[in-house]
C-alpha cells in the first residue's frame, strides 16, 4: 500500500444483493470459533461447533494508509442468528489510540450498538436503515443483529485508530442483548469480569 501523502483517490462499490464490496480491500471473516468464549450459552456453543462453524460477521476494509490524516472505512455485516437466546454480534473493541472516534451509518437490517466507556458507563443505541451512530473516543463498541436479515453498516474512523480487542475478550461487556418473547432485551452480563 502507498504510504505517501499523494495516496490516490479511490472508489469502492457495495453490492446490496451479493453483500460484497468491489474492490474488496481486506476481507475479514469471523466465525463462531473465533469468538465462541464470548457467548453466554457455552453448552449451545459446543453443540453448534460439533456440527459446523457459522460465519457470524464479516467486514470489507478499504485499504487506506493507517496514518492520522487518513480515514479508514469499511462495510460490515452481521448475519442474523442466535446462540441460545443471544443474538449474533461483533467481538467489540476499543481503539488502540484512545482519543479516536467512529461514525456508523446503517444501510440495512435491525440491531443495537452496545457501547461501554473506559470509565464503565454503558449506552445502547438502535441501529436500523438510516441511523447514524456516533461512537465518541474511549467507548468500546459492538454491533448486535436483532433482526432476521443481515445488519449492514458503513463505518469510518481515523486512519491510525487501531483495534484493541483484548479488553473485551478478557472482560466481556457489561450489557448483553438477549431475545425474550421474540423481542430484544438488554440484560446485565452475568459473565462480566470487572
Q: Which residues bind Fe ion (CB under 5 A)?
A: 102
Query: C-alpha cell of 144?
Result: 448486535
CB of 41 to Fe ion, least distance (A): 26
Measured distance CA(145)–CA(143) in Å, rounded: 7
Q: Please choose, from the candidates 59, 31, 36, the residue with its C-alpha nearest in 3D space to the C-alpha of residue 169.
A: 36
- Other CB atoms within 10 Å distance of the CB of residue 162: 16
Query: C-alpha cell of 33?
Result: 470459533
Contact in structure between 31 and 45 (CB atoms under 8 Å)? no
* 32 DSSP assignment: G
CB of 78 to Fe ion, least distance (A): 14
CB of 133 to Fe ion, least distance (A): 11
- Other CB atoms within 10 Å distance of the CB of residue 133: 19
> Whose Cβ is closer to Fe ion: residue 74's or residue 177's?
74
> Whose Cβ is closer to Fe ion: residue 2's or residue 26's?
26
> Whose Cβ is closer to Fe ion: residue 86's or residue 102's?
102
> Whose Cβ is closer to Fe ion: residue 90's or residue 110's?
90
> Whose Cβ is closer to Fe ion: residue 91's or residue 174's?
91
Find how far residue 137's CA is from the centre of its chain.
16
End-to-end, the C-alpha distance of the chain in Å comes to 40
> Whose Cβ is closer to Fe ion: residue 73's or residue 175's?
73
- Other CB atoms within 10 Å distance of the CB of residue 147: 17
Q: What share of the chain is helix, strand, coil (3-state, %, to 5)?
A: 10, 45, 45
CB of 16 to Fe ion, least distance (A): 23
CB of 50 to Fe ion, least distance (A): 33
CB of 127 to Fe ion, least distance (A): 14
Amino acid at each position: 500500500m502507498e504510504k505517501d501523502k499523494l495516496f490516490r483517490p479511490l472508489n469502492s462499490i457495495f453490492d446490496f444483493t451479493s453483500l460484497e464490496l468491489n474492490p474488496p480491500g481486506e476481507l475479514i471473516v469471523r466465525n463462531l470459533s473465533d469468538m465462541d468464549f464470548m457467548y453466554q450459552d457455552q453448552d449451545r456453543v459446543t453443540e453448534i461447533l460439533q456440527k459446523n462453524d457459522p460465519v457470524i460477521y464479516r467486514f470489507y476494509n478499504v485499504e487506506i494508509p493507517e496514518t492520522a490524516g487518513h480515514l479508514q472505512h469499511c462495510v460490515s455485516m452481521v448475519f442474523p442468528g442466535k446462540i441460545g437466546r443471544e443474538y449474533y454480534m461483533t467481538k467489540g473493541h476499543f481503539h488502540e489510540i484512545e482519543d479516536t472516534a467512529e461514525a456508523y451509518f446503517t444501510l440495512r437490517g435491525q440491531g443495537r450498538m452496545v457501547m461501554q466507556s473506559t470509565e464503565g458507563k454503558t449506552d445502547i443505541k438502535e441501529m436500523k436503515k438510516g441511523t447514524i451512530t456516533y461512537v465518541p473516543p474511549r467507548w468500546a463498541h459492538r454491533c448486535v443483529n436483532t433482526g432476521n436479515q443481515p445488519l449492514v453498516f458503513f463505518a469510518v474512523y481515523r486512519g491510525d485508530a487501531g483495534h484493541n480487542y483484548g479488553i473485551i475478550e478478557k472482560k466481556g461487556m457489561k450489557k448483553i442483548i438477549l431475545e425474550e418473547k421474540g423481542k430484544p432485551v438488554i440484560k446485565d452480563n452475568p459473565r462480566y469480569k470487572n
